[in-house]
Structure 1
């Protein structure tokens, strides 16, 4: 019998699609179906499109492809599916079969996936006050330009201090060893969260090995660029093997699914899950504040660490923790979706920001750097909340 690794992609896609029983339970949790009320913009519709493409029953027209490209990959459908359809796997396989979209913003993606280049650009443009006049540059660009969308995401906050890996501590040699994966843009823009994760994990008794910063391949894997995704997976595998760790963690939930794809059988987790398992070792100083907690789709549906995060935050005395209600299901960032489909992403973001405003917080927390930059780009006037990674708040309040 042919195993999965030997199956040809169209055969594999058709087999995955055949698992769908067409019950429609995925429709109420699909953010793109909520936007359009169009069956082709639902998981059920996309599964039918993928099956027809794989069997050669339809041609991969631009219109059909767009329905697949609109998918945010939030995996809400997988979480509620009674037939356990592996929708994420089907989506990745189908996009790989089609290849990258003709309008994919390769230049912008190439910059994001290279941390050193991104930091240098931030330093240079920060030195000339770019954040203050970026809107003038943006207005000179075509309305649907990916570069214009990227400029909207340009951080308003100062560039964080560089994250410098530290040697592993041998103070607790009997503890599980954890490899901490920094990622690409997160290793620059969330450098403070990397340091916070290290502080918290060591305080909880874990031994931490820090991996080098590079792209895990998530943007390529979900964008149909199978060759680049495969090269990134090989780099992930080499770094993991050299770490000789029991767990692999990353502060960016958006990387978790891709890391699991690259390292089948390896325990890849959100650090908050491991911290919650040893919560009794952590003590926090009081903080009288109300925080809105945006839970990224990947944290809820892939890492499934949302409950662990909320439990940890609620251990901070005096902290009023208010998670965003559902819907909305997705803020619209979704990797490169906010660059490729800015109008659709903005509509989803507006739903999320309305929910934040209703909670009247003093601070907004979100674990995913892409989500935070996307949400910040939509904050105007009275909706200007300080925002940070929840691990930073926890580390700031940690009793040492």
Structure 2
């Protein structure tokens, strides 16, 4: 590889990779059928076992970390489906993030414009809520001013890549106002109070899915929770951690710990599986910083997905579903958020809430727990593999004949919208966030 010392990368990998986790892998192969990239390619190096072998061989000095090594680390979706399948409880997600962090510190493979974009996105944009709202205003203006129609007509977006043009078509309407601007920072519980929750509003969630955040707060309030939304919170750091920007992820984590600990809450609720997963792992993210250990553990213990909180602790919303109470009006299937299912172990609560909703027939999708190909920004950085995975997913989704594909993560939601646009357009199928579906059903049935 030009202009890069493989020896320095090898040393960085030695320092950052958890060698105990590398040696915990028994090479049993239980992870292979769970891994989306291995299922698509059948190549050993495209599996968790294969990637761990590459990491260990590099650390042990048996392999030079070249371009192919870096490519294999970047091909992983980071869905972590291998972790529940692993009998040795290998923390593969941590290993892949550590490897990417080392690579990012030492690679010169990025072109100048890639480095510039990464700097703008990871440092200049996501950590700053005010700038994210300005982005939302810009996107809103782009849509409402007619610029979007003109850009589509002239094919400007498609000049960059066909995939970017596809993604642009399914972007939701952005907002320059977040949930705090709509509802305030403290929303009282309706009726008997069951607890106080801190609402994690996210960065993209608050710009592209503001209505979902609003509906989350209103559902929680109706279920008996006082909701507090700290203004000082920022991006969760998931995209940073997954993309080799560990130091930035740690700084964002510290800011969030301060913001939520200052207000004191019973729960910290997330409505995005990707955000929730890293929030529950702040204790690991900051485990090498003793002064933050107690605060990180306090924070991580309180994180809960909105579906689990509503199911296990909230008041029942709407009338109970009656057995034999007439034909259901809609058929629904559920696409798991990988991080909600595999990291937070929260796959059953969304299904149970859908089962409990009046007027709904729930149909389980084949391989519902398999990654849809979104994986943070994977569908942008690896569009070919993401597209292959999505096509397989849409085949299973269409087999359910569902009116709605429900999911619990914004990236998954956009990916499923893209799947419908490309593979099921005009077939009466919609993709919707779980909160939006539950809220609309609550309003309809109450």
Q: TM exceeds 0.5?
A: yes
The residue number in structure 1 matching 2:252 is 232
2:209 matches 1:190:
yes
Structural RMSD (CA): 2.6
Pick one of 348, 364, 383 that aligns with 1:342.
383
Tell me: higher relative CO, structure 1 or 2? Use CA pairs within 8 A at least 6 residues apart.
Answer: 1
The residue number in structure 2 matching 1:18 is 23
Q: Is the 8 A contact 2:189 2:227 kept in 1?
A: no
The residue number in structure 1 matching 2:302 is 267
Unpaired segments ≥5 residues, structure 1: 1-7
Counting matched residue pairs gives 388
Q: Residues 293 and 331 from structure 1, CA distance in 2 versus in 1: closer, same or farther, beyond 3 angstroms?
A: same
Name the stretch that deviates more: 377-386 or 15-24: 377-386
The residue number in structure 2 matching 1:61 is 66
CA distance in 2, matches of 1:131, 1:390: 28
Pick one of 122, 135, 141 that aligns with 2:139.
122
Q: Residues 353 and 156 from structure 1, CA distance in 2 versus in 1: closer, same or farther, beyond 3 angstroms?
A: same
Q: 1:232-381, aligned counterparts within 5 Å?
A: 232-262=252-282, 263-264=296-297, 265-278=300-313, 281-284=316-319, 288-326=329-367, 329-378=370-419, 379-380=421-422, 381=425
Q: Residues 240 and 290 from structure 1, CA distance in 2 versus in 1: closer, same or farther, beyond 3 angstroms?
A: same
**Cα displacement string for residues 247-266 of structure 1 (whole angstroms, at most 9, x for unaligned residues):** 11111001112112223342
Name the stretch that deviates more: 254-263 or 281-290: 281-290
Q: 1:122-201, aligned counterparts within 5 Å?
A: 122-132=139-149, 134-135=151-152, 136-141=155-160, 143=161, 149-154=163-168, 155-159=170-174, 162-163=178-179, 164-166=182-184, 167-169=186-188, 175-201=194-220
CA distance in 1, matches of 2:393, 2:172: 21
Q: 1:203-222, aligned counterparts within 5 Å?
A: 203-212=222-231, 214-222=234-242
CA distance in 2, matches of 1:275, 1:376: 26
| CA apart distance, 1:21 | 0.7
Pick one of 56, 64, 67 that aligns with 1:51.
56
CA distance in 2, matches of 1:288, 1:221: 42
Name the stretch that deviates more: 168-177 or 368-377: 168-177
TM-score with structure 1 length normalisation? 0.88
CA distance in 1, matches of 2:411, 2:82: 21
Q: Is the 8 A contact 1:334 1:370 kept in 2?
A: yes
| CA apart distance, 1:53 | 2.9
**Cα displacement string for residues 253-303 of structure 1 (whole angstroms, at most 9, x for unaligned residues):** 011121122233422111110111036632248871112321121122122
Q: Quick check: which has more Rg, 1 or 2?
A: 2
